[in-house]
Amino acid sequence: AVLGDSDERFHVRGGNDLIVQALAERLDDAIELDSALESIHQVADDRFRLSFQRDGASYQTYARQVILALPLTILRDVDIRVPLPEVQRRVIQELAYGTNAKLMIGFASRPWREVHASSGAVYTDLAFQCAWETSRLQDGASGVLTNFTGGRQGLAVGEGQAREQADQVVQALEQVYPGIAAARNEGSTQARMHWPSNPWVKGSYACYGPGQWTGLRGAAAESFGGLHFAGEHCALDNQGYMEGGCETGEAAARAVLEQRRLQAALPQIATRWASLASL
């Protein structure tokens, strides 16, 4: 691994969101945007009634199979009228979430390499906590350092303008890479991703609190009939990463397909049992 248990060498050319865009294109108009799930009720015939809000109005839809991939910070605000096991209700309501944030800071050059012979990876007791080079193995003279924070500092990164926050980080980086501030100019840009203040997320990723690793781990992914769960918070090996979201999404999809296969086979099984009973 390049950075602890993480590996930041590989990127999708054009941005990771191209993966989601490509998947969405295959679904045509099946995706409904700007819709917030308000409640889910189990009704007759093993169906679920889901209520959504969009543009100030509520609407409902029914489904036999449902995959809930919402972060638990959002799901805990949904009225769930389904007799879930107590441990699953606990994980929905109690699992802690991180307050991580990222600042991507652009530089006209890469003094951490050119002057200081460093990879750009920094772990420190300074306020900015840690950083790494995102432009690794990319052509050109300019470079990008990603600043990753959590805890109280992760919350603080969301205050003010992104440029102000980036300037503070660069000032602190001067203690690590003297002269780095000179590599930024008026044309240098920055981007901020602040998950705690995102109303659709309200946190970065699941962060097990005291007692939760042994008391709640694994419960988030348990299916209940036709109700399935997915997301990084459901992953065991890749929790906290996009890979965790992908692998649990695939597992939920396989569970749906398996249940549909069994439901389709039930009439044939019933006929077979009836014929055996008449022998």
For the chain, give percent helix, strand, coil, nearest 5: 35, 20, 40
220 and 88 in contact (C-beta within 8 Å)? Answer: yes
Question: Which residue carries 């995706």 as its tokens?
Answer: 31
The CATH 3.90.660.10 domain(s) of the chain lie at 101-197
The CATH 3.50.50.60 domain(s) of the chain lie at 32-95+212-272
Residue-wise pLDDT for 3-13, tens only, equals: 566 666 777 88
Alpha helix (H) ranges present in the chain? 17-26, 72-75, 86-94, 111-114, 151-156, 162-173, 212-215, 242-277
Residue-wise pLDDT for 160-219, tens only, equals: 999 999 999 999 999 999 999 999 987 889 999 999 999 999 999 999 999 999 999 999
CATH of domain 32-95+212-272: 3.50.50.60
For β-strands 36-42 and 48-54, DSSP reports them as antiparallel
The residues, any chain, with a CB within 8 Å of residue 255's CB and separated by 6 or more, are 223, 228
Residue-wise pLDDT for 51-82, tens only, equals: 999 999 999 999 999 999 999 999 999 999 99
Report which DSSP code applies to 183.
G
101-197: what CATH class?
Answer: alpha beta
99 and 158 in contact (C-beta within 8 Å)? Answer: no
Prediction pTM value = 0.86
